[in-house]
Structure 1
Amino acid sequence: MTVIIFTVSVLCLLPQEVLARWACVRACPPSCTCTQEKSCSVLCDRSGLAELPKEFPCEASAINLDKNRLKFLSERAFGTLPSLKSLSLDHNNISFITPGAFKGLSNLVELKMAHNEYISYLHTRTFTGVKKLVHLDLSDCNLFSIPDRIFIEQTALKELLCFQNNFRRIPGAIRGMENLTHIYLERNKIEAVAYNSLLGLGSLKYLNLQENRINVIHEQAFQDLTRLENLYLNDNLLSDLPKLAFKGLSRLKMLNLGGNQLTNLSKTWFSDQVELEVLYLDRNQLLYIEEGTFENLTSLITLHLNSNNLTTLPFPVFQPIYFLGRLYLFRNPWECDCSLEWLKEWMENYKLVRDIPCASPSSVAGLDLGEVVFAKVNGTCVDPADLNLTTASSEITSTTENRFKSLIFTLIHPEFGDQMGNGTESLRNGTLIESEDGQLSAGVTGQRAWPSESLFCFIVMWLSLGLIGQSDLFFSLYCT
């Protein structure tokens, strides 16, 4: 054992021209495959390994140990591999990592340890000696926290993946890491974004906090993230936000607040987001949008307002973003009255939005807004509900007047009875009936009607002309 380790160490210290004589394949561990194209890669994935191989080619630049049965990493577990840039240990059974396990990997840039469900603890000196690390993946482990000073040597770290763990707070270890550009913390159990959680992250461009339990965001919690471009806060428990929640995020291009419990939108929230292009507000409980909420979003291209409780969208609220490219409004209980006439016109003119089903008024419920006809009276829009009432009243009045006029005409000009055929609509199938003395009188098919009765009908109609509903009633009782 000692002889082998010594031999490997000596080989790694030999000049490059001597190492060139040794092919990557010759030093390949059993159960692994080694290839040397541009560089030496050692492929030991899916090999059923319960322990690490005793040695690796010293010129190895990448080692893949995914999907094995590794449980333990001892100190200097990989020996000295000065050329190693990438090491992957995903999908193993690792439960303990000895401090200094990665010593000897001085040029390691990428380290993956995701999907090791038994890793619940990391020592402060776990990554000692790995000073050039840029990409670290600790996703889908069983971590409840990580020590605050664990990354003290990893000043070059840019991408940190810690999603699907058990963190209840944003790890304090990331504070002050000036080179971090991407942080993945989704699907944890984080409950708040404190005022100091994200301090000193001036290079951060991507922050994912979706699918946590966040119900509180402190005022100006994101103030140091001056270069942030993508922020995911969707599928949390937010019911409100502080006035200056997103203060300082002037370069933000995508903000996702979908799947929360927001009921209102404040005009102070998005005051700094002049470069915002995509905004998700879907799957909330929005009832009201304050005028001025979108006034600074001059770069907005896509807005998601679907799956809320919105009934109306006043034009002054929408006007600053009138020329955005995509607007999603479906699954809201829209009240399709005249306040949405502008939206229908916008739909028809720009063809950029569809599926706006009306929930009210009842006369248009179930229709899409694009199918609703807004009538004009003297140039003023009439709500569908009012339009129906007006139409109904007009029909009643018209019917009554027609009956009245027709009755008078028949009484005054009985000689035209034959020409009226079997009655008019106003007389309800009335005809002229010949009496025993040969006189003609107005009547109803199958009934006899006398002149006195017709005169009585005339008096009733005269007295109740202004009472539309009652005149119909009297007419029905006495004249049919």
Structure 2
Amino acid sequence: MKSFALVITLLVFGLSCGSRNIKYMPHDVADSLDFEFKVSEWSKPNSNCPPNCDCDNQGFVNCSRLHLTKIPDLPKQTSNVDLSINDFHSLPDDSFAGLTNLSQVDLSENYLTDNGLAEHCFRSADHLLILYIGANNLTQIPTKLPKNISLLSIAAGQVLSIDFKENKYLNLQILQLQYNKIQNLPTNLAKNAPNLLELDVSFNNLTDLSVHSTMLKGLTKLRVLNFRFNKFHVIPKNIPDSLQDLDLVGNPIKVIQSHAFAHLPKLIDISIWQSSLTTIEDFAFQGLHNLIMLELNDCHITSSLTNNTLIGLSSVLDIDISFSNISSVEAGAFAELSTLQTVWLNDNPFRTLPNGLFSKSFLPSIYMIYLWGDNWICDCNLKWLKIYQENSSVIQDPHLMKCKEPAALAGKTWDAITSDQFVC
């Protein structure tokens, strides 16, 4: 029993230590790494481990939550050190001298300031690839970063601008600056980090004027761009056509104009939920032949889904337009979406839907449709949908679909009635 408790304790410890690192890894990088936790490697304490820290035999050192004010003497074989949630206010030059295997450092949630970071604090960390330094008091990006840095996270801070000065970081692929106070994107980001793959500037103060023609120009490898909860009123135009994932959640965008994404043909995922969206113009998604996921839920759409609204989404698998105030859908709205598998239309004020809307003739791959709501007019005009629900498992959770009319069926859920009762 004692050994079992030890295993559980170590597993929990290992997962809590590694969760931050796994969370921010790009999918293709994370998939190539082995995060298997080996309890046996913790069975014997490392004799060089700093006091009160925990070390394993693979070079990981956990010195988190110890109220440290200076970096302890770390074992020479250290490759990954967690120094988060301590009391660091400054880092001197060559803070990581002698650690030739060091590839990852977590300094997040301390009290570091711009003046507290010596210009050459990372000078001896030539092999450092991953740096977490968010949730401090930094207002700018550190002047001299490790030359081989590939992931830089300065999330949840006081950063006002993205300024790498004249420094070039050719290996920088992931830049995380969410939850800061950034108002503009730099004009020379492609010069500083030409191989950037992912840029997260969500929860900042970016506006339509923050992205003009030169700001992201040259980032020809950019795949993921997170603009979540900024202040954009229109879909940004000056974005590299290499982009695959665009997140505009929570922005005050009211209209998705016709051909709004024509300049981004490689997009796979678009998220614009929880926005101020009221109108989706016809042909808004024309040209997005590679799009797989479209998320437009939690909006205030007053326009209908017409036969032309979703034209162009020839590869889409999932569409979520739930909780979005849509009251009507034309019969051919999904007619061109032969690959569609799942559609969320639940919690919209639908009263009825046109016959054949989900016809297998143009939706051969559909297997889940969500239509929860309590506003249905359960009469002969909707009998086709009830028959569809009875004869297949595609319509999900009929117990969450409730009739409002006629009076004889008012308040009854679809799992408790039959198609014979849908009469005029």
Secondary structure in 2 matching 1:288: coil
Change (3 A) 1:343 1:217: closer
In structure 2, the residue corresponding to 1:87 is in which secondary structure? Answer: strand
* One-letter identity of the residue aligned with 2:148: N
- What is the rounded CA distance, in whole Å, between the counterparts of 1:371 and 1:227 in structure 2? 45
Displacement of 1:189 in angstroms is: 2.0
Match of 1:94 among 126, 130, 138: 138
- Deviation at 1:316? 2.8
Instruction: Say if 2:172 and 2:196, in contact at 8 Å, map to a contact too.
Output: yes
Structure 1 match to 2:407: 362
Runs ≥4 residues deviating over 6 A: none
Q: Is 1:69 the counterpart of 2:146 in the alignment?
A: no
Structure 1 residue 325 and structure 2 residue 370: aligned?
Answer: no
Contact 2:233–2:254 (8 Å) recurs in 1: yes
Residue 248 of structure 1 and its aligned partner are, at CA, apart by 1.5
Give the C-alpha shift of residue 111 in structure 1.
0.7
1:113 aligns with 2:154: yes
| Shift in CA distance, 25/383, structure 1 to aligned 2, threshold 3 Å | closer
Q: Tell me what 2:317 maps to.
A: 277
Q: Distance in 2 between matches of 1:31 and 1:184?
A: 33
2:328 maps to a residue whose letter is Y
For the pair shown, the structure with the greater C-alpha radius of gyration is 1
| Structure 2 letter corresponding to 1:128 | N
Matches within 5 A, 1:297-336: 297-319=337-359, 320-321=362-363, 324-336=366-378
Q: Secondary structure at the match of 1:333?
A: strand
Structure 2 Cα separation of the partners of residues 154 and 248 of structure 1: 29
Q: Which amino acid aligns with 1:296?
A: E
Q: Distance in 2 between matches of 1:178 and 1:289?
A: 38
* Residue identity matched to 1:359: K
| 8 Å Cα contact 1:74/1:97 also seen in 2 | no
Which residue of structure 1 lines up, in the alignment, with residue 34 of structure 2?
none
Q: In the alignment, which residue of structure 2 is the partner of 1:174?
A: 216
Query: CA distance change for structure 1 residues 249 and 374 in 2, over 3 Å: closer, same or farther?
Result: closer
Q: Which residue of 2 aligns with 1:122?
A: 162
Bigger helix fraction = 1
Q: 2:386 aligns with which of 344, 352, 362?
A: 344
- Provide structure 1 residue ranges, at least 5 long, that are not aligned to the other structure: 1-23, 376-381, 387-480
Tell whether the 8 Å contact from 1:34 to 1:40 is kept in structure 2 after alignment. no
Q: Which has the higher contact order (CA 8 A, sep 6+)?
A: 2
TM-score norm. by structure 1 comes to 0.67
Judging changes above 3 Å, is the alpha-carbon distance between structure 1 residues 77 and 171 closer, same or farther for their aligned structure 2 residues? farther
What is the alpha-carbon distance in structure 1 between the residues aligned to residue 344 and residue 392 of structure 2?
17
Deviation at 1:168, TM superposition (A): 1.9
CA pair 171-228 structure 1, distance change in 2 beyond 3 A: same
Distance 1:212 1:342 in 2: 38
- Does the aligned pair in 2 maintain the 1:222–1:248 contact within 8 Å? yes
The AA in structure 2 aligned to 1:372 is: I
| CA distance, structure 2, for counterparts of residue 349 and residue 274 of structure 1 | 27
> Structure 1's 257 and 284: CA in aligned 2 closer, same or farther, altered over 3 A?
same
- Give the Cα separation in 2 of the matches to 1:153 and 1:283: 42
**Residues 149/42 of structure 1: CA separation in 2 closer, same or farther (3 Å cut):** same
Could you tell me which runs of 5 or more consecutive residues in structure 2 were left unpaired when the two chains were aligned.
Answer: 1-47, 51-60, 62-68
Q: TM-score, normalization: structure 2?
A: 0.75
Offset at residue 159 of structure 1 (A):
1.0
Cα distance in structure 2, aligned partners of 1:188 and 1:336: 42
Task: Provide the residue aligned with 1:445 in structure 2.
Answer: none
| Deviation (angstroms), 1:151 | 3.5
CA deviations on 1:206-237 (whole Å, 9 max, x unpaired) are 11111111113343232232221111011111
Q: Secondary structure at the match of 1:95?
A: coil
Q: Which residue of 1 aligns with 2:254?
A: 215
Distance of aligned partners of 1:35 and 1:160 in 2 relative to their CA distance in 1, 3 Å threshold: farther
Looking at structure 2, the residues matched to 33 and 346 of structure 1 have their Cα atoms a distance apart, in angstroms, of: 69
Q: State the superposition RMSD in angstroms.
A: 2.7
SS in 1 for 2:369: strand
State the number of aligned residues. Answer: 347
